[in-house]
Amino acid sequence: MTARLYEVTGVKVSFVPGFLLRLKDEQVQPRLQSLQKVKDNLYRVTAHVEFKRGEMIGIPDGGVPKALVSLVAEVGADKSAPPPPEVPTLRHQGFGKYDVVDAAGVVLTEKPLQKAEAQALIDKLTKEKRL
What pLDDT tens digit does each residue of the chain (131 aa) get?
577 889 999 899 999 999 899 999 999 999 999 999 998 889 999 999 999 999 999 988 757 888 888 899 888 655 555 555 567 888 888 888 998 888 777 888 889 999 999 899 888 888 776 64
The whole-angstrom separation of Cα 88 and Cα 85 is 7
Determine the Cα angle at 109 with ends 106 and 112, to 5°. 110
Nearest CA to 27 out of 6, 71, 64, 57 is that of: 57
Count of domains for the chain: 2
Same domain, 15 and 68: yes
Within-domain flag for 44: yes
Within-domain flag for 79: no
Same domain, 94 and 62: no
**Residue 98 belongs to what H/E stretch?**
strand 97-101
* Per-residue pLDDT, 66: 82
Determine the Cα angle at 48 with ends 7 and 53, to 5°. 25
The residue segments making up the domain with residue 121 are 89-130
Say if residues 40 and 81 touch (Cβ distance below 8 Å).
Answer: no
Same domain, 94 and 57: no
Residues in the chain, overall count: 131
**Residue 125 belongs to what H/E stretch?**
helix 115-130
The pTM for the full model equals: 0.56
Within-domain flag for 83: no
Same domain, 62 and 93: no
* Per-residue pLDDT, 131: 45
